[in-house]
Structure 1
Amino acid sequence: MDKDSTLNFALSKNGDDPLMFFELLRVIFLLVLLVFLSGKLKTIFVNQIMSRYSDDIGVSQSIGTIIQYAAVLFGGLVIIQTTIQLGSLNVLAGALGVGIGFGLQNIANNFISGLIILFERPIKVGDRIEVGQVTGDIVRISSRATTVSTNDNISIIIPNAEFISKSVINWSHSGRNIRFHVPVGVAYKEDPAHIKSILIEVAKKHPDVLKEPEPDVLFKEYGDNSLNFDLLVWTSTYINKPTVLKSQLYYLIFEKFKEHNVEIPFPQRDLHIKSGNMVPQK
């Protein structure tokens, strides 16, 4: 179409190379198409290629996202260089720079934080994390934010900068084997060695408690009303449901204590009342 057409007007004046309206539309269309195709490329790479070499979905997603970003970056540069004269972008580039400086600071911060997460991999898809008041499994890491799914199937969108600037507890960073503490209290009349054997027996019978490392029992303290123990168990299947595992163990412990007549204490207080001579009133 002729550049003098009414619809194809110049967006900027830059000597002999003005930025035309249709040129900008063509660039936008090609960039949108590039993002769409790069997303498809990532899906194919993760599901059909990486799945053959790695069972860790987090690693596959990280590598796929890095490839997607690289494809968008280099493809975008090629589209801009071959479609628009670089000199005609001076005005728009300056305006964009001002916009980033004043209005897009948080977006730029989250995007850079997303790149740091992908390259350093302090967290990845599938990890069980705890940041602030949020606890859940990471299901998606995008350029701006990370999606965390809680045990109540609630998706929480957390900006990537939160994972860089704040302390993050990653329960599965070093592996899926996690040790849980199950506190137990019994009456003072009970034999600690007997209590330990009962707790170990209960832990070993649970199908989701690992045999290696073996469960253990610590005699923690003489409490105000009880002897306090700490049952230590390892699991790889209840990493995202620690409360459920503890509940199941408490049910089993209660039945075993009932079978062995082990007394579970309750708070007691002794009251000492002093009596004295009453002074008669006048």
Structure 2
Amino acid sequence: MNLKDIFNYDLISVGKFSINAFDLFISVVIIIISIFLLRLIKKFFNNRVKAGKIDKGSAFSIYSIIKYLIWIIVILMILETMGVNLNLMLAGSAALLVGLGFGIQQIFNDLVSGIILLFEGNLKVGDVIQLENNIIGRVRVIGLRTSKIITRDDIIMIVPNSKFISDQVINWSHEQGSTRFLVEVGVAYGSDTELVTRLLLECANQVPEVDISPEPFVRFNDFGDSALIFQLLFWTKETFRSEYIRSKIRYAIDRKFRENNITIPFPQRDVHMISDKK
């Protein structure tokens, strides 16, 4: 048996449909070339990220789009190589696809949302986001149907992509390196407001995660019922750890206020007792 006979040998034969060794060989070659090509493309984007010419999130999104397109083309080429009539197959499955469409509307919605996310780039890998239920997490993977985010408690959440399109999502990392946060504190009436302002700024400057530029600033926000209300506003690039940074600032404020005899008052309420005398 020569090489030609081996290639023409039918491995699968069902009616008029058959797959010979040559068809299988060509299909394997196409898959190997595709895998090699995808590795080259991924290496190209990794080099661009290391060189600082593109950010990691954008590189991942573009690579994902290219990967999906290549595999779609590969599948179509393999089917064509094996003699499958794509036009006939699509026409015959049209009614089935319509029927399935009513049952998998949500899945289809998630798939379309995934494509929109990858093309628009409003959400990228590494972004810190806040969902409508106040869950805050960092985007780990943007898939075609679902995405993965890791919360501050190191819990991996799998979120359908349609949630990012239909719900309100706050992206703390979008188009800027730093995000502004605040710490609010009340001091007793009669306190030296200039001293309070200076101490709050010192507390912010003691925390390494707080950005130097823009500089933190203090706002005398209100005359409260039992306290003068101040707000310390600061910027940080560590948005994912913002609660930890605010905690460090509060520790510093408590220590500074004790050292300088600044009192944080308890809430005060006046209670009037009315006696009903007959």
TM-score interval for Structure 1 and Structure 2 normalised by the shorter chain? 0.7 to 0.9
| Alignment-derived partner of residue 242 in structure 1 | 242
Provide the aligned C-alpha RMSD in A. Answer: 3.0
Correspondent of 2:14 among 5, 9, 19: 9
TM-score (norm 2): 0.83
Q: Deviations over 1:175-232 (max 9, x none)?
A: 2301111001100121222211111121122222111111111111111111111100
Q: How does 1:255-266 map to 2 (within 5 A)?
A: 255-266=255-266
| Alignment-derived partner of residue 3 in structure 2 | none
1:81 equivalent in alignment to 2:80: yes
Deviates more, 1:93-102 or 1:198-207: 93-102
1:51 equivalent in alignment to 2:50: yes
Is the CA contact 1:131–1:167 (under 8 Å) kept in the aligned structure 2? yes
| Alignment-derived partner of residue 70 in structure 1 | 69
After TM superposition, give the deviation of residue 36 of structure 1 in Å: 8.0
Alpha-carbon distance between aligned partners in 2 of 1:119 and 1:90, rounded to the nearest angstrom: 27
The runs of 5 or more residues in structure 2 that have no matched partner are: 1-7
| Alignment-derived partner of residue 174 in structure 1 | 175
Is the CA contact 1:2–1:8 (under 8 Å) kept in the aligned structure 2? no
After TM superposition, give the deviation of residue 72 of structure 1 in Å: 1.6
| Alignment-derived partner of residue 13 in structure 1 | none
Alpha-carbon distance between aligned partners in 1 of 2:48 and 2:208, rounded to the nearest angstrom: 34
Q: Deviations over 1:22-70 (max 9, x none)?
A: 48x969x769947982764564344345433536210110111111122
Alpha-carbon distance between aligned partners in 2 of 1:229 and 1:124, rounded to the nearest angstrom: 36
Alpha-carbon distance between aligned partners in 2 of 1:55 and 1:180, rounded to the nearest angstrom: 28
Is the CA contact 1:176–1:239 (under 8 Å) kept in the aligned structure 2? no
TM-score (norm 1): 0.82
Is the CA contact 2:114–2:145 (under 8 Å) kept in the aligned structure 1? yes
Is the CA contact 2:19–2:82 (under 8 Å) kept in the aligned structure 1? no
Counterparts in 2 of 1:275 and 1:87: CA distance versus 1, 3 Å: closer
After TM superposition, give the deviation of residue 90 of structure 1 in Å: 4.7
Is the CA contact 2:30–2:74 (under 8 Å) kept in the aligned structure 1? no
Alpha-carbon distance between aligned partners in 1 of 2:29 and 2:95, rounded to the nearest angstrom: 19
One-letter amino acid matched to 1:57:
K
Q: How many residues align?
A: 265
Is the CA contact 1:185–1:227 (under 8 Å) kept in the aligned structure 2? yes
The runs of 5 or more residues in structure 1 that have no matched partner are: 11-17
One-letter amino acid matched to 2:229:
N
Is the CA contact 1:127–1:137 (under 8 Å) kept in the aligned structure 2? yes
Alpha-carbon distance between aligned partners in 1 of 2:218 and 2:49, rounded to the nearest angstrom: 42
Deviates more, 1:61-70 or 1:44-53: 44-53
SS in 2 for 1:81: helix
Q: Deviations over 1:137-173 (max 9, x none)?
A: 0000111111000111111011111111111110000
Alpha-carbon distance between aligned partners in 2 of 1:243 and 1:31, rounded to the nearest angstrom: 53
Counterparts in 2 of 1:82 and 1:219: CA distance versus 1, 3 Å: same
Q: What's the % identity of the aligned pairs? A: 36
| Alignment-derived partner of residue 59 in structure 2 | 60
Is the CA contact 1:42–1:68 (under 8 Å) kept in the aligned structure 2? no
| Alignment-derived partner of residue 108 in structure 1 | 108
Counterparts in 2 of 1:270 and 1:106: CA distance versus 1, 3 Å: closer
Is the CA contact 1:31–1:76 (under 8 Å) kept in the aligned structure 2? no
